[in-house]
Amino acid sequence: MKLQDKRVLLTGATGGIGKEVAKALAEQGASLVLVARRLAQLEELRALLPNSERHHVLALDLTQSCDMESLNEYARGCIDGQRIDIVINNAGHNQFDLLSRRSAQSVSQEIQLNLTVPILVAQSALQWINRPGIILNVGSTLGGIGYPGYSAYCAAKSGLYRFSEALNRELDGTGIQVLYLAPRTTDTSLNTESVRRMNQALGNHCDDAKCVAQHFIQVLEKEVSVLWIGWPEKLFVRINQLLPAVVSNAIRKQQETIHHFIRQMHKNV
Ligand SMILES: NC(=O)c1ccc[n+]([C@@H]2O[C@H](COP(=O)([O-])OP(=O)(O)OC[C@H]3O[C@@H](n4cnc5c(N)ncnc54)[C@H](OP(=O)(O)O)[C@@H]3O)[C@@H](O)[C@H]2O)c1
């Protein structure tokens, strides 16, 4: 899809990846509806974008049903003017820790923001999105590989992957496509200092958010159904589907380092 003059609703717009995606989309000539909870950050971002007067901000907590209703009302209101052509479900959060150490509340919040919210946004978008239209769900490499310390996040992102696949098939021929883009570790504040140090110790790649944003542009322009960013992550995701024991063995060798950083994290609290 050509992005020039398209209207894009972007959640998680003020985050490390969201900001770069907003800039890249605005540079392509898209007009944006930027969504996150904090209004000041949203306004600051809008002011930075080319043609700032063309963009709108919505300060909403997507885990609150009344805010979800406000999002729907806003989007339905666009039907008489310029409809929304693209929805990017990018808001997300995770907490690196052992499941046994986490509160039930933090686990359900993580599932809600990373899985339930994008499903509900997609469901409501079916009422108001333009045709042709695109719903792009932002997953993670961890949606393709179960990884220690991230069990709930892996569950949510892999659920989002299957949801995207199923809805894309359900909507076949309707003019609406549902795409899934899975970044690997990216340099944003989503990753705490302990996680950064652990990734360094494990030799994990860490992408720059600007480069990740270019993948968003590519996926939307070329209408790619699924993109796993980066080697060897892309390969590991495939091996994990075919020969999960091979990936389990590789992760077993990392266990000591992973547990070391989890222990350190709790010592520092
Ligand atoms: N960074 C990585 O290593 C990495 C790797 C793979 C996948 N991803 C995925 O990429 C996406 C973006 O990640 P990121 O690194 O940019 O995260 P981030 O920097 O932590 O940004 C998160 C964004 O979500 C918004 N948000 C959080 N809770 C919200 C809520 N309840 N309602 C509405 N907005 C909310 C935040 O703004 P407010 O706080 O103002 O609401 C912020 O704009 C996520 O889906 C993440 O899972 C990230």
pLDDT at 216: 98
Cα(7) to centroid of ligand 1, in Å? 21
Q: What is the pLDDT of residue 219?
A: 98
What is the chain's length?
269
Rounded Cα distance, 240 and 247, in Å: 6
What are the start-end ranges of the H helices in the chain?
16-27, 39-48, 65-77, 104-111, 117-128, 151-170, 193-202, 209-222, 233-242, 244-252, 255-268
Please give the distance, rounded to the nearest whole angstrom, from the Cα atom of residue 17 to the centre of ligand 1. Answer: 8
Nearest CA to ligand 1 atom 39: 37
196: buried, middle or exposed (CB in 10 Å: 19+, 13-18, 0-12)?
middle
Give residue 135's pLDDT.
99
Domains, in order of start, for the chain: 7-268 (3.40.50.720)
Query: Nearest to residue 7, comparing CAs of 86, 76, 123?
Result: 86
90 CA distance to ligand 1 centroid (A)? 6
Report d(CA 33, CA 10) in Å as an integer: 6
Is 38's C-beta closer than 6 angstroms to any atom of ligand 1? yes
Query: Among candidates 66, 31, 21, 14, which has minimal Cα distance to 213?
Result: 21
Instruction: Check pocket membership of 164 for ligand 1, CB cut-off 6 A.
Output: no
Per-residue pLDDT of the chain (269 residues; tens, 9 = 90+): 999 999 999 999 999 999 999 999 999 999 999 999 999 999 999 999 999 999 999 999 999 999 999 999 999 998 878 899 999 999 999 999 999 999 999 999 999 999 999 999 999 999 999 999 999 999 999 999 999 999 999 999 999 999 999 999 999 999 999 999 999 999 999 999 999 999 999 999 999 999 999 999 999 999 999 999 999 999 999 999 999 999 999 999 999 999 999 999 998 77
Is the shortest distance between the CB of 154 and ligand 1 below 6 Å?
A: no
Quote the pLDDT of residue 7.
Answer: 97
Indicate which residue of 150, 157, 161, 180 is catalytic: 157
Atom of ligand 1 nearest to the CA of 138: 45
Q: For residue 98, which amino acid is it?
A: L
Q: How confident is the model at residue 81, as a pLDDT?
A: 82
pLDDT at position 258, please?
97
Supply the pLDDT for residue 178: 99
pLDDT score at 129: 98
What is residue 61's predicted lDDT score, i.e. its pLDDT?
98
Q: Which residues of 204-243 are buried (b: 16+ CB within 10 A; e: fewer)?
A: eeebebeebbebbbebbeeeeebbbbbeebbebbebbeee
**153 in active site:** yes
For 181, list phi and psi in degrees, rounded to 5.
-120, 125
Q: Angle 99-151-63 (CA atoms, 0-180°, nearest 5)?
A: 90
Q: Tokens standing for 207?
A: 């992408």
Q: What is the pLDDT of residue 80?
A: 78
Mutate to test the pocket of ligand 1, among 21, 38, 87, 93 (most ligand atoms within 8 A of CB): 93
Whole-number pLDDT of residue 112: 98
Q: How far apart are the first and last CA of the chain?
A: 47
Q: Which of 234, 243, 212, 221 has its CA nearest to residue 19?
A: 212
Testing ligand 1's pocket by substitution, the residue of 9, 17, 185 carrying the most ligand atoms inside 8 A of its CB is: 17
Cis, peptide link before residue 232, omega less than 30° from 0: yes
Whether residue 74 lies in the annotated active site = no
Tally Cβ neighbours within 10 Å of residue 140. 29
pLDDT of residue 79: 80
How far out from the chain centre does Cα 163 lie? Answer: 14
